[in-house]
């Protein structure tokens, strides 16, 4: 396994912590490596669809739409698998997601010799990845080994190919670049299919076209365009079509249409092209270019994409990558990553911890994708982001992180969500490739918006935001799988009954969504609304079972689900994924999700001592799941019982057990940065209760963590003597004054300052006399 080369992280991080200056350009023609050198994009790439990180190893800038990355024969939702050969590199991917395959558009495959588009499967070697850059040698024989490098801008992918210098009869063989217009992340037949495709061969170095797709995790159709240009005229250009093992080339300029791909898995298998790899399906179309590589072995190609048109893609190309300096584009991307990663600088910890940390921060800035200026769905001057995949995952940790370290980016994302509400009628819980959905639980866009408002982020229309939140809270959705809520039961009974799928998890999420609406109503002076939504936020209590000590799904008549166990994990073989009473979890896990009323939860369990034991059983019996989101707040609930020491013990163990330098080094699907941002927070010793204006204090890994804030301020957490053994906070000082509580307000952080934490190997009495965190609106 080949990993990217990195400088010693002790030196890197120390330099970053003490200086914000870049290297003197007069002393070096290229920027010195910054914090991007501490990132290993291969961490978390591997595993299955429910256990692997599924992160993308390819080239991308922060939140860029183009993710120029390899597609493997056995790839998952992100298209990649370390143990499998590569079919080529495509321009669009999602990172860290589960479900069916998404994107994988416009795959480029380099070859030597005869022209073909079937059985494009290449052995790989010398694989390297750094932020904004990916390189691999592709080829099934030494005289076919092609060094393949890619970099990216926001909407453009840039490929540089170095073909081998063959001898003898093979010296005259051309080098080929095959562009598959109808390519997808195929996942062995699950997910997408191309419903239509088209390629235009414009001249001897320029191609354009489009393709339409349907059937991914969000099954709504989408259409995407490309514009590709080579750095020199080709010996031959043309279009091609492949179906059921047959390949036909159409040399010269002109156009060619593809046929719809297979309708379902059974049909796909019946018309399989690549029987040996079980991946490439019938009815593919694309373009090609052939070059004399004996004289000039390096070939470069740039491909821009757009949801609007090929002309718009061409405009993106002219704006973002007008020249042919591959290394300059790569270094610009590196600079963007260095800047993004410098928002948090750390000192101390082990080299492995620092590398895991900066890779986690890197993964936290990959999605959603910024496609501003390329909104194909309505006319708007607002920022536009796609691939909120999904807010059910990211509202908990990712968006609060962006509010703190990338506030303008978070404002733009919220403006995009609100613009989507204006034009679709709903604030999405997920949005992918121009369509809302899927909605896994509640309307958690409400929490993203409320989190920004209660933290006084500003920069967007609060009245429009409140209208969007009230739509979620008042209007029954006609398509609740895609947007909005199921409200009939909830408004009548105070909970969602078993007549509806995901009834118990929906009830818990709706309750917190309503609390978020109550907070915003209170901030805006709408006190009657605030009181009403606050009362609704107590609906979780209606599902509590005192005897079982957990949430229990109920029928409309109030009877609980029979033969029910709190620890039973859903879904199962008898209950389809979307039909279970809980979405991806158990009653024991979901019972910890009452973020707005932990004191009420403690009362239900029987007091602080009983509550501590209740939480201990979740962890000690192996039922806590770091691989998914429903219970990831649970380690911090100990603080409400006056046991910050238990929080410290749990989060240190979770980090050690679930995060590593391996290609399987994430606890589960990274979910667009949700799991990675969880690590970022915990490593610096803070943690958000999303939607509320405070942060818990945990157990920092690093001696010092400096957060660069808006307006030139900074906030530093100094953990004195922290180590694997010294994990407990025994004293704290905020700006030199004693602090005997295990939380900070948002205002205390964004005002700038220093939090000093004294660490020890055994717990003391710090913060054991629990003081309630602040709330915008009281439940009492």
CATH number at 91 reads 2.70.98.10
In this predicted model, what pLDDT tens digit does every residue of 89-129 receive, in sequence order? 999 999 999 888 899 999 999 999 999 887 788 999 999 99
554-573 per-position pLDDT tens digit: 999 999 999 999 999 998 87
Asked whether the predicted pLDDT for residue 372 surpasses 60, the reply is: yes
Q: Rounded mean pLDDT of 769-774? A: 86
Domain count, the chain: 1
Render pLDDT for 283-339 as a digit per residue (tens, 0 to 9): 789 999 999 999 999 999 999 999 999 999 999 999 999 999 999 999 999 999 999
pLDDT number for residue 264: 56
**If you average pLDDT over residues 749-778, what whole number do you get?**
93
In a domain, 333, yes or no: yes
Mean pLDDT of 739-744: 98
Does 746 fall in a domain?
no
> How far is the C-alpha of 354 from the C-alpha of 710, rounded, in Å?
24
DSSP 593-635: --TT-HHHHHHHHTSHHHHHHHHHHHHHTT---TTSSTTTTGG
**Least trusted range by pLDDT, from 22-36, 157-171, 571-585, 741-755:** 22-36
Whether the pLDDT of residue 518 is over 70: the answer is yes
Q: Is the pLDDT of residue 353 over 60?
A: yes
The pLDDT score that the predictor gives to residue 6 is: 35
- How far apart CA 105 and CA 111 sit, in angstroms, is 19
Instruction: Give yes or no for residue 193 having a pLDDT over 60.
Output: yes
Residue 7 pLDDT > 70: no
Residue % of the chain over a pLDDT of 70? 91
Instruction: Output the average pLDDT for the chain.
Output: 92
Tell me the CA distances in angstroms from 554 to 538, 560, 616, one per residue in order.
16, 4, 26
Q: Does 243 have pLDDT greater than 80?
A: no
pLDDT at 278: 38
Stated pTM of the model: 0.94
**pLDDT tens sequence across 381-412:** 999 999 999 999 999 999 999 999 999 999 99
- The verdict on residue 238 lying in a domain is yes
Query: Which pLDDT belongs to residue 220?
Result: 86
- Cβ neighbours around 31 below 10 Å, total: 15
554 is a domain residue = no
Mark residue 673 as left, alpha or beta (left: phi above 0; alpha: psi -120 to 50; beta: remaining). left
Q: Can you read off the two tokens belonging to residue 509? A: 């999420």
Query: What's 192's DSSP letter?
Result: -
Q: Residue 515 pLDDT more than 80?
A: yes
Domain assignment present for residue 529? The answer is no
| 670 within some domain | no
With respect to residue 257, please indicate whether it lies within any of the assigned structural domains.
yes
**Of 119-123, 139-143, 298-302, 361-365, minimum mean pLDDT range:** 119-123
- Residue 711 neighbours by CB under 8 Å, 6+ apart: none
Structural domain harbouring 106: 60-337
3-state helix, strand and coil shares in percent for the chain, rounded to the nearest 5: 30, 25, 45
Residue (of 492, 515, 511, 490) closest to 500 by Cα position:
490
| Alpha-carbon gap, residue 109 to 88, rounded angstroms | 4
The reported pLDDT for the residue numbered 216 is 82
Compute the distance between CA of residue 321 and CA of residue 775 in angstroms, rounded to an integer. Answer: 48
Q: What is the pLDDT of residue 189?
A: 57
Above 70 in pLDDT, residue 681? yes
Q: pLDDT by residue (tens digit) across 579-619?
A: 999 999 999 999 999 999 999 999 999 999 999 999 999 99
d(CA 717, CA 705): 5
Q: Is pLDDT at 143 greater than 50 in this prediction? A: yes
pLDDT at 1: 33
Contact by Cβ (8 Å): 455, 774: no
Q: pLDDT class for 30, splitting at 50, 70, 90?
A: low
Tokens 């870049």 locate to: 22
Q: How confident is the model at residue 268 (pLDDT cuts 50, 70, 90)?
A: very low
Lowest mean pLDDT among 148-152, 165-169, 179-183: 165-169
Confidence of residue 14 (pLDDT cuts 50, 70, 90): very low
Query: Is 79 domain-assigned?
Result: yes
Estimate the crossing angle of helix 398-405 against helix 445-454, to 10 degrees.
30
């Amino acid at each position: 396994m080949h990993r990217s080369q990195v400088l010693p992280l002790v030196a890197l991080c120390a330099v970053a912590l003490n200086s914000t200056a870049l290297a003197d350009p007069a002393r070096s023609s290229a920027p010195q490596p910054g914090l991007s050198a501490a990132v290993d994009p291969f961490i978390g790439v591997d595993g299955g669809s429910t256990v692997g990180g599924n992160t993308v190893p390819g080239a991308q800038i922060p939140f860029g739409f183009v993710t120029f990355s390899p597609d493997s024969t056995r790839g998952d939702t992100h298209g990649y698998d370390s143990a499998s050969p590569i079919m080529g590199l495509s321009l669009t991917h999602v990172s860290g997601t589960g479900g069916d395959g998404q994107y994988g558009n416009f795959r480029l495959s380099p070859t030597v010799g005869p022209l073909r588009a079937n059985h494009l499967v290449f052995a790989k070697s010398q694989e390297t990845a750094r932020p904004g850059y990916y390189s691999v040698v592709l080829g099934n024989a030494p005289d076919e080994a092609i060094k393949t490098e890619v970099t990216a801008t926001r909407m453009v992918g840039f490929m540089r190919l170095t073909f081998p210098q063959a001898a003898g009869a093979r010296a005259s063989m051309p080098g080929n670049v095959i562009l598959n217009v109808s390519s997808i992340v195929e996942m062995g037949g699950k997910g997408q299919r191309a419903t239509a495709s088209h390629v235009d061969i414009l001249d001897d170095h320029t191609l354009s076209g489009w393709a339409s797709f349907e059937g991914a995790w969000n099954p709504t159709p989408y259409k995407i365009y490309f514009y590709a240009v080579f750095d020199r005229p080709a010996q031959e250009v043309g279009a091609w079509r492949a179906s059921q093992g047959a390949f036909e080339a159409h040399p010269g300029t002109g156009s060619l249409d593809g046929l719809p791909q297979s309708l379902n898995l059974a049909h796909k298998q019946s018309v399989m092209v690549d029987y040996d790899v079980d991946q490439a399906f019938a009815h593919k179309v694309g373009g090609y270019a052939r070059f004399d590589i004996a004289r000039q072995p390096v070939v470069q190609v740039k491909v821009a994409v757009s949801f609007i048109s090929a002309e718009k893609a061409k405009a993106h190309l002219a704006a973002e990558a007008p020249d042919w300096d591959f290394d300059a584009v790569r270094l610009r991307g590196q600079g963007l990553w260095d800047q993004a990663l410098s928002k948090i600088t750390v000192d101390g910890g082990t080299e492995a911890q620092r590398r895991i940390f900066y890779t986690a921060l890197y993964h936290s800035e990959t999605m959603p994708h910024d496609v501003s200026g390329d909104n194909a769905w309505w006319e708007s001057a607002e920022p536009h982001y796609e691939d909120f995949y999904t807010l059910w995952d990211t509202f908990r940790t990712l968006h609060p992180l962006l509010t703190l370290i990338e506030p303008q980016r978070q404002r733009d994302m919220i403006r995009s969500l609100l613009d989507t509400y204006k034009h679709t009628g709903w604030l999405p819980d997920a949005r992918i490739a121009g369509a809302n959905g899927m909605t896994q639980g509640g309307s958690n866009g409400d929490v993203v918006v409320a989190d920004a408002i209660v933290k006084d982020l500003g920069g967007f229309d609060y009245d429009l935001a409140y209208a969007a939140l009230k739509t979620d809270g008042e209007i029954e959705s006609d398509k609740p799988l895609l947007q909005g809520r199921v409200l009939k039961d909830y408004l009548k009974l105070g909970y969602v009954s078993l007549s509806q799928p995901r009834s118990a998890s929906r009830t818990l999420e709706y309750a917190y969504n309503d609390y978020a609406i109550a907070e915003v109503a209170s901030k805006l002076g709408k006190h009657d609304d605030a009181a009403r939504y606050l009362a609704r936020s107590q609906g979780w209590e209606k599902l509590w079972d005192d005897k079982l000590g957990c949430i229990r799904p109920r029928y409309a008549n109030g009877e609980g689900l029979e033969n029910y166990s709190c620890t039973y994990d859903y879904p199962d073989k008898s209950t389809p994924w979307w039909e279970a009473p809980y979405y991806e979890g158990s009653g024991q896990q979901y019972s910890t999700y009452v973020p707005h009323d932990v004191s009420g939860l403690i009362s239900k369990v029987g007091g602080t001592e009983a509550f501590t034991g209740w939480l201990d059983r979740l962890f000690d019996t192996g039922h806590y799941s770091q691989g998914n989101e429903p219970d990831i707040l649970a380690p911090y609930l100990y603080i409400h019982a006056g046991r910050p020491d238990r929080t410290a013990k749990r989060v240190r163990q979770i980090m050690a057990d679930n995060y590593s330098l391996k290609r399987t080094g994430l606890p589960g699907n990274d979910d667009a940065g949700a799991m990675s941002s969880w690590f970022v927070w915990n490593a610096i010793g803070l943690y958000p209760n999303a939607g509320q204006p405070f942060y818990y204090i945990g157990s920092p890994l690093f001696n010092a963590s400096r957060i660069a804030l808006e307006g030139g301020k900074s906030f530093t957490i100094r953990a004195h003597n922290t180590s694997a053994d010294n994990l407990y906070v025994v004293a704290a000082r905020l700006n030199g004054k004693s602090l005997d509580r295990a939380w900070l307000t948002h205002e205390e952080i964004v005002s700038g300052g220093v939090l000093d934490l004294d660490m020890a190997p055994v717990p003391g009495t710090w913060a054991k006399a629990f003081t309630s965190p602040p709330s915008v609106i009281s439940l009492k």
